[in-house]
Homo-oligomer: A and B are copies of this chain.
């Protein structure tokens, strides 16, 4: 089942390596099917060079394996929670990419400092609150998903206008309206984190002029976008 989605998710996992976001078996990508009933995700702890498209695991929205002989990523329940609560997203990526993880470990948001940020994110990229002891001990990965959702809900953030988050002392999750775009956003996130870090070393971060941010975000997104080609 879902052979094309497996192929897309498999390819997207390889793209994490190509873009330098992961080493070893770190990182995982998933995608959700059109009916939003099934999630296809990377198996846990399998080397990228040994992995095949048919190794991708199909789970339902309770995280139960529907198809596949391997264990799904240990982060599966985080992915599932995001798909359940963010109905506009179709792909999710988790990495420990260096600069985004550095911000997670700094426990501060990535401020919007220029138009590169504004081309993809219309605000600072938030960091979650820490998990409570009980949230760590039981259903840890599910609670990680819940605290991400809480971050967006309490601040009323549209997940497609800010397609990534920093999990406190952990690392980034990114997403998108397709599996491919989820990876794309994870790459952009890393680029933004890298630049923002180096700015914060030299001077206090002053957010980009709000009008300039709006201009760049709307130039690429929304009804009056004029970047790229008409489809």
Residues of A within 8 A of B (CB): 23-25, 43-46, 70-71, 74, 96, 98, 101-102, 104-106, 113-116, 130-131, 133, 136-137, 140, 169-171, 184, 187, 191, 194-195, 197-203, 208-209, 211-212, 215, 219, 226-230
B195/A198 in contact, CB under 8 A: no
Q: How far is the CA of A101 from the CA of B116 in the complex (A)?
A: 9
Contact indicator A202/B211 (Cβ below 8 Å): no
Set of chain B residues within 8 Å of A171, measured between Cβ atoms: 114-116
Contact of A202 among B106, B113, B228 (CB under 8 A): B106
Asked if residues A131 and B169 are in contact (CB atoms below 8 Å), the reply is no
Bound form: Cα–Cα A229–B71 in Å: 6
A136, chain B: closest CB distance, angstroms = 5
The answer to whether A137 and B211 touch (CB under 8 A), given A74-B219, A106-B202, A187-B23, is yes
Task: Please list 12 pairs of residues, one from A and one from B, whose beta carbons are closer than 8 Å in the complex, sorted by A's number.
Answer: A23-B187, A44-B229, A71-B230, A74-B227, A101-B116, A102-B195, A102-B199, A106-B202, A130-B212, A136-B209, A140-B219, A201-B202
Copies in the complex: 4
Does B45 lie within 8 Å of A227, measured CB to CB? yes
| A187 neighbours in B (Cβ, 8 Å) | 23-24
- Residue among B74, B169, B200 making CB contact with A113, cutoff 8 Å: B169
Complex contacts, A212 vs chain B, CB 8 Å: 130-131, 136, 169-170
A203 → B minimal CB distance (Å): 6
B residues less than 8 Å from A208 (CB atoms): 105, 169
